[in-house]
Amino acid sequence: MNVAEAMTRGEQSVPPEVTPSVLLETDEDGIALVRFDRLGSSVNVFDTATLGHLAAIVNDLGRRSLRGVIFMSSKPAVFIAGADLRELAGTQDRAGLVELGQQIFTRIGALRCVTVAAIHGACAGGGFEMSLACDYRVASDAHVTKIGLPEINLGLIPAWGGSTRLPRLIGLPRALKVILSGDLMPSSKARELGLVDAIGPRERLTFLAKRFVDSGKPRRSFRHLAWIPAWQAVAAVARKSVLKKTRGHYPAALRAIDVVTKAVVRSIPQSLVAEKKAILALADGDVSSNLIRIFFLQDRAKHLPSPKAASIEKTAVIGSGVMGAGIAQWFAARGKGVLLSDVGPEQLAQGLQRAENLFAEARRRRILSRSEARAGMDRIVSAEIAVPMKSIDLVVEAASENMQVKKAIFADLEERVRYDTILATNTSALSVTEISRGLRDPARVVGLHFFNPVHRMKLVEIARGELTSDFAADTAVAFVQRIGKLPVVVKDRPGFLVNRILLPYLLEAVRLFVAGAHVEALDESMLDFGMPMGPLRLLDEVGLDVAADVGETLCRAFPDRMHTPGVFAQLLAANIKGKKTERGFYEYQNGRVAGVNRFATDLREADDKASLTRDQLQERMVFLMINEAARCLEERVVEDPRDVDFAMIMGTGFAPFRGGPLRYADSVGIAKVTEILERLTRTRERQFAPCDLLVEMTRQQKKFYGTESSPVSKG
C-alpha cells in the first residue's frame, strides 16, 4: 500500500476486525482501547500500513461519543518503537510519509474526548510523538519501558510533531535536551522531566490511564510561551555547544535547535511544516544515510546467526586488571555468575574495587538500582587460589599479553574445566591459534576481544583460530549478543580487525609527532575529521605500554610497513605510560588534561614548526587507515566491507557520519584514494603504498559498496 492509498483508506471507516496491526475495542465505561499489536512480530512500528489502520480508527473515534481513548500495546517489551526505518530509508515518497504521520497525530490531538497513552515497553521516536499528541501519558515502571526521541542519532529530527509538541509540554530547554541527546530514558527519569504524567505497575496501567480519563481534558499548556523572549538566546547557546561537540559534522542537531526553538513562536501547523522541511533535507544527506546504515549494521550484529551455540550462565575471568575487571563487571551486571581470579589477593582487591566503582557509576547514571548494583557485585566471586571450575561454562582469560603466560594459563584451565567449557582469550593482538596449540582440545579456544572501557564499547571481536570449532565460535557469538554487546567475527590475524587498522594510524600520529608536529594540532586535525578523540590522546588513554605491546605484534607481522617509533621505548623507560601514570603525550591532573608533556616533546627530532597543514595531517593518518582496511578485506580478515566499517565505528568511534573507512573511501573515490596513497609513497614511505585490492579496484573502477555485492569475489 502506498501513502496515497493509506490516506484514502483513512477517510473511510474501517471495521476493527480487518485491521491486523491496530485493534479497537470499547469497554463498558465508554472508553475506547486502541491496541497496537503487529502481526507476526514482537515489535510495533509505524509503517504506512499501520498508519493507515490507525488513521481509520482515529476517524472512527472522532465520530463516536466517547469518554476517552487509551492507546496501548499488546507486546511484552515494546509500545511503539518508532517509524519503520527501512521504509523511511527506502521510500520514494518521504514527504507523503511525514505528512501522513503529522496528520494522524494532529487528529488525535483534536479528539474531543480525553486521550491517554499507556506506555509499556520501548516508546521511541514516532511512538512517543503519538503519545505527545495525547492529553496524558502514563508509563509502566518496568525495565523494558524506555522513552525518548532518538531521531538525532540517525541524523534526523522528530518530524511527526515531536519537535513542536515537546517544548509546549515541558518547556524549551528541557525539550532541547531530550531531543539533542536522543537518549531513551527509564520511566522514572521521563516522569522527572515531565515526559509522562504518572508511573505505575504494568498490570495497573489501564486503571491508571482511566484515572486520567476521569480527570477530564487538561487545560491547554502555555508553558512554551514563557520562552518567547528568550528563544533566540537559548538557540544561540545550544548552537554553540553543539558546534563545539560536533564541529559542524552533524547538521541534524543544528536543524533540531532551529525547529524546536522556533516552535515556541510558531503556530502548530507552521511548526509542523518546518519539521517536514527539515527532515526531508536531512534525510537526503549523506550523514543521515550513513547513520541509518550503522543502525542497520547494529541490528545485523544483534541477529548474527549462531546455530550451534550453547547457553552460558556461569563464567570465569582470569586476570582482574582494567580489562578483566571491566569484563567481570559487565558479565555480572548482565546476570552472569563470575569467578574472578588473579595471581594474588592484592591484585584481586584492586580488580574488585574497579568492578565496584563501575557498579557505583552505573548507579549514579541510574542504569542500575541500588539493589541491582549490589546483586551484580555479589555475582562476582573471587578466587586467589586454584579452585574447582566444573560449573563454569565460559572462561575469559584477560591476563598479561605474553604468549608463554597465556599458554600456561590455558594448559592449567584445560585440566580444571568441564569437557565442554569454552576457553576464550581477550588478547588484543596475539594469535588465538598459537595460544590453543598444544592443548588436548584446541577447538574450544576462541578469541573474545573486548574494547576498553568495556562498559562503554559495544563491539566485541570474536576471533576464530584455525582450530576453533563452530560450537565455540557460535557460543561466543550468542553469548556476546546475550550480554548486550555487538559481535563481529574475524579471522585470527595479527591485531584482528580493529587494532590492525587503528595501529598504523596511531603509529603515523607518533611519527608525525616525532617529526615535529604540534601535539594539539595533530589531535585537533583528527577531531576535525570527526574522530571522538585525537590519536595521541587515545594512546594516552589506552596506555603507551599496551599500545607498544600490540604494536610489537603487528610490527613483527608486517615489518615491511609497520615499525614502532623509538620514542615509545624512551617514554616507557621513563615510566611514562599515558593517563594511568598521569603523563603521556599530555600531562594529567585528576584524570584531566593539564597540558602537553614537555618531557615527551623534548624527545622529538624537530620542534613545533607546523610544517604540515591540518589537511595534510589528516590525509596521512586517514588514508593509511583506509589502506589497511582494504588490506584486511583483501586478506579476508572479514568477508564483507560492512564488517570493516561497522567494527571501526563501534570499536574506535571512527567518524560515524562518514560511514566507516571504506564507505569514506567510496565517497572520496577509489581512484582518488589510490592516487593520494601513491603520491604519499613518493616520499619514500613504504607504508603508504596502496594495497593490491585498491589498485585492482581502481583499474576495474569498482567501489567497496556498489551495485556489485563485494569487491572480493567469493570462492
Partner 1 sequence: MNSEEIAVIAGVRTPFAKLGTSLAGLGAADLARVAMLGVLVRTGVDPRRIDEVIFGCVAQPADAPNLARVAALRSGVPNHVPAVTVQRNCASGTEAITQAVLRIRCGQGDLYLVGGVESMSSIPLLFPKSAGAKFASLVGGKGFLQKARAAVRLRPRDLIPTPALKLGLTDPVCELNMGQTAEILAREFGIERSAQDLFALRSHMRASAAAEKLAEEIVPVYDTSRGTAVLHDNGVRPNQTLEALAKLRPVFEPVTGTVTAGNSSQITDGAVALLVGTTSVARELNLEPLGIIRDFAYAGCDPKRMGLGPVYAVDRLLKRLHLGLGDADLIEINEAFAAQVLAVLRELEAIGIGKIADEKLNVNGGAIALGHPVGASGARLVLTALKQLRRTGGEKALVTLCVGGGQGAALWLECP
Q: Catalytic residue numbers?
A: 449
Instruction: Rule CB under 8 A: say whether 382 interacts with partner 1.
Output: yes
> Quick one: cell of 397?
582469560
Instruction: Rule CB under 8 A: say whether 20 interacts with partner 1.
Output: no
Instruction: Rule CB under 8 A: say whether 339 interacts with partner 1.
Output: yes
Instruction: Rule CB under 8 A: say whether 15 interacts with partner 1.
Output: no
CB of 120 to partner 1, least distance (A): 26
CB of 326 to partner 1, least distance (A): 15
Part in contact with partner 1 (CB under 8 A); list of ranges 236-244, 281-289, 376-384, 546-554: 376-384
The residue from 388, 438, 595, 706 that contacts partner 1 (CB under 8 A) is 388
CB of 186 to partner 1, least distance (A): 25
Instruction: Rule CB under 8 A: say whether 387 interacts with partner 1.
Output: yes
Q: Which helix (H) or strand (E) holds 117?
A: strand 114-119
The residue from 98, 283, 389, 497 that contacts partner 1 (CB under 8 A) is 389
Please identify which residue in the block is written with the cell numbers 469497554: 27
> Quick one: cell of 569?
621505548
CB of 484 to partner 1, least distance (A): 22
CB of 359 to partner 1, least distance (A): 9
Part in contact with partner 1 (CB under 8 A); list of ranges 62-70, 271-279, 343-351, 444-452: 343-351
Q: Which helix (H) or strand (E) holds 601?
A: helix 598-601
Helix axis angle, 370-379 relative to 345-364, nearest 10°?
Answer: 160
The residue from 381, 533, 555, 689 that contacts partner 1 (CB under 8 A) is 381
Instruction: Rule CB under 8 A: say whether 420 interacts with partner 1.
Output: no
Touching partner 1, residues 684-713 (CB under 8 A):
none
Please identify which residue in the block is written with the cell numbers 548482565: 334
Q: Assign residue 121 a region (left: φ > 0; alpha: ψ between -120 and 50; beta: otherwise).
A: left
**CB count, 10 Å around CB of 29?**
12
Listing DSSP states for 316-361 in one string gives: EEE--SHHHHHHHHHHHHTT-EEEEE-SSHHHHHHHHHHHHHHHHH
CB of 512 to partner 1, least distance (A): 39
The residue from 89, 230, 237, 349 that contacts partner 1 (CB under 8 A) is 349
Instruction: Rule CB under 8 A: say whether 362 interacts with partner 1.
Output: no
Please identify which residue in the block is written with the cell numbers 627530532: 605
| Backbone dihedral angles phi then psi of residue 609, each to the nearest 5 degrees | -85, 120
350 or 601, CB closer to partner 1? 350
Distances (CA, A) of 308 to 311, 475, 479, 581, 681: 10, 7, 12, 44, 46
41 or 353, CB closer to partner 1? 353
Longest pairwise C-alpha distance within the chain: 85
DSSP label at 29?
T
| Residue of 350, 292, 299 lying closest to 322 (CA atoms) | 350
Instruction: Rule CB under 8 A: say whether 355 interacts with partner 1.
Output: yes
382 or 597, CB closer to partner 1? 382
Dist CA 429 CA 276 (whole Å): 48
CB of 354 to partner 1, least distance (A): 8
Part in contact with partner 1 (CB under 8 A); list of ranges 151-159, 369-377, 430-438, 546-554: 369-377
Part in contact with partner 1 (CB under 8 A); list of ranges 1-9, 190-198, 344-352, 666-674: 344-352
Q: Note the Cα 442 to chain centre separation in Å.
A: 33
Q: Assign residue 457 a region (left: φ > 0; alpha: ψ between -120 and 50; beta: otherwise).
A: beta
389 or 501, CB closer to partner 1? 389
Instruction: Rule CB under 8 A: say whether 372 interacts with partner 1.
Output: no
CB of 405 to partner 1, least distance (A): 22
Residues in the chain: 715
| Residue of 548, 474, 481 lying closest to 510 (CA atoms) | 548
The residue from 356, 361, 524, 640 that contacts partner 1 (CB under 8 A) is 356
> Quick one: cell of 22?
491496530
CB of 416 to partner 1, least distance (A): 10
64 or 374, CB closer to partner 1? 374
Q: Assign residue 31 a region (left: φ > 0; alpha: ψ between -120 and 50; beta: otherwise).
A: beta
**For residue 70, with 0-12 CB atoms within 10 Å meaning exposed, 13-18 middle and 19 or more buried, which class applies?**
buried
Adjacent-strand bridge partners of 382: 340
Instruction: Rule CB under 8 A: say whether 30 interacts with partner 1.
Output: no
> Quick one: cell of 60?
472512527
Adjacent-strand bridge partners of 166: none
CB of 324 to partner 1, least distance (A): 15
382 or 674, CB closer to partner 1? 382
358 or 476, CB closer to partner 1? 358
Instruction: Rule CB under 8 A: say whether 377 interacts with partner 1.
Output: yes
| Residue of 431, 419, 465 lying closest to 445 (CA atoms) | 465
34 or 339, CB closer to partner 1? 339
Instruction: Rule CB under 8 A: say whether 484 interacts with partner 1.
Output: no
Instruction: Rule CB under 8 A: say whether 343 interacts with partner 1.
Output: no
Dist CA 230 CA 176 (whole Å): 14
Q: Which helix (H) or strand (E) holds 374?
A: helix 370-379
| Residue of 193, 131, 192, 183 lying closest to 153 (CA atoms) | 183
CB of 590 to partner 1, least distance (A): 18
The residue from 243, 268, 383, 439 that contacts partner 1 (CB under 8 A) is 383
Instruction: Please state whether beta strands 185-186 and 146-148 pair in parallel, antiparallel, or not at all (unpaired).
Output: antiparallel
CB of 309 to partner 1, least distance (A): 24
Instruction: Rule CB under 8 A: say whether 385 interacts with partner 1.
Output: yes
352 or 497, CB closer to partner 1? 352
Part in contact with partner 1 (CB under 8 A); list of ranges 223-231, 351-359, 548-556, 672-680: 351-359
Instruction: Rule CB under 8 A: say whether 335 interacts with partner 1.
Output: no
The residue from 391, 402, 700, 709 that contacts partner 1 (CB under 8 A) is 391
b (16+ CB within 10 A) / e for 311-335 = ebebbbbbbbebbbbbbbbbbbbee
Part in contact with partner 1 (CB under 8 A); list of ranges 98-106, 375-383, 505-513, 637-645: 375-383
b (16+ CB within 10 A) / e for 532-549 = eebbbbbbbbbbbbbbbb
363 or 407, CB closer to partner 1? 363
253 or 325, CB closer to partner 1? 325
29 or 378, CB closer to partner 1? 378
- Considering CB under 8 A, how many residues would be counted as binding partner 1? 26
Dist CA 171 CA 193 (whole Å): 10
Q: Which residues form the interface with partner 1 (CB under 8 A)?
A: 337, 339, 345-346, 348-350, 352-353, 355-356, 374-375, 377-379, 381-385, 387-391
